[in-house]
Homo-oligomer: A and B are copies of this chain.
């Protein structure tokens, strides 16, 4: 709708009405203009209609939506199914070009612009989240594990002979596998135990660096967000180490964007030491479907080197979900969600503390972990079967995300890789079972209340069953 069209509308309705319509409509147009101009997340979330209008305007600029075109290439963005076309908002060309994940596609101007816009809005979001030292970022259309692997692969461009990746121990398969996938050998650094919390053993890292030689080390892969009782790695100190030893520093901040505590230490590390890339999950931080990661850097040229290394095109789907979400959320609501999460974590911690006292258990003291807590299961004995049963009981009661960790589960994760003792607990010395629970973005207090209620049900049930079984066994003895 432009000036001329408004004029034409006076054929149907009085000019004064048209004027008001135009005035309101301009407010929509201005929102779009502001977005393109400022490239910041709007304060107030947009309506679904305005978002769809934006997407529709831009998809109409992609060649697959041209009316009168003819395609003689091997890839013309033709879409067979209307359902597929609709759900992709008529975008079909993906992002990137054979040369570069960030390059513009002449056939797909609309999606190219939206993709770049998404990355700029995302930069705004990272800054709101506390990563003020980040200068550039992209949505990488692969989930965190594969994105970490890809970053590590890209290091090979400069450091052909690197063989190792040093990683303070984190017992998540995808982290361990990402190193193997990238073609490196993982050097795992056992954590120290401070109180109940597992913390980075910096001395051991330094020792390994001098042992292996920095030339042979592709990077240090540190981790911030993690399950208690592991704490976030001391990224600031690691960053100093990396700076001094000229080692690439890759931070796995999987779901850490949602905690200012974690973004703060990363931000500090960026200021005082060396942080090359920080990787975080789009789904875990932005409440979109699984499939993407955010790569954030302080120096633009590092990101350029990575995106140029990407072989070929990639899906636009992740960027689209992220873009829609940022626009519909607005920065105000993003801030509220961060706040709510923090409050929920405090609530979870205090309520479960009460429960611990009641049941003779303990909430492990992990003052640096702002998302996850660990709750001992001392009273449940040491039979692994019975312990993991608690997890199942919660699962069938529709409590998801609670993990029961039982010491003694030793595992080799990748062929020819190291053995992880007490896998899942991040430490060789774990000797007690516990479960973890987390307060992640989007959680409501009602989730926690429901969880606590069901947990009590389970505990009681378990105790009763247990008692019965003991009695039965005793009875059988006779």
Contacts and interface: CB of A to CB of B under 8 A. Distances in A.
A312 interface: yes
Contacts of A292: 315
B283 A398 contact: no
Contacts of A310: 145-146, 177, 181
Interface string A57-85: 10111010111111111111111111110
Nearest to A254: B74
Nearest to A450: B70
- Chain A contact-residue range equals 35 or more
Interface string A426-463: 00000000000111111100111011001000000000
A295 interface: no
Contact of A400 (B57, B59, B76): B76
B399 A69 contact: yes
A380 interface: no
A2 B29 contact: yes
Given A63-B400, A70-B399, A74-B440, A84 B316 contact: no
A287 interface: yes
Given A59-B49, A324-B84, A402-B72, A312 B174 contact: yes
Contact of A89 (B87, B90, B116, B441): B87
A69 B33 contact: no
Interface stretch (A14-22, A202-210, A266-274, A358-366): A14-22
28 contacts: A1-B32, A2-B29, A8-B37, A9-B109, A9-B113, A11-B39, A20-B396, A47-B65, A52-B52, A72-B437, A73-B402, A74-B225, A74-B254, A75-B281, A75-B283, A80-B287, A81-B321, A81-B324, A84-B324, A92-B290, A143-B314, A143-B315, A145-B312, A148-B311, A174-B311, A177-B312, A182-B183, A290-B316
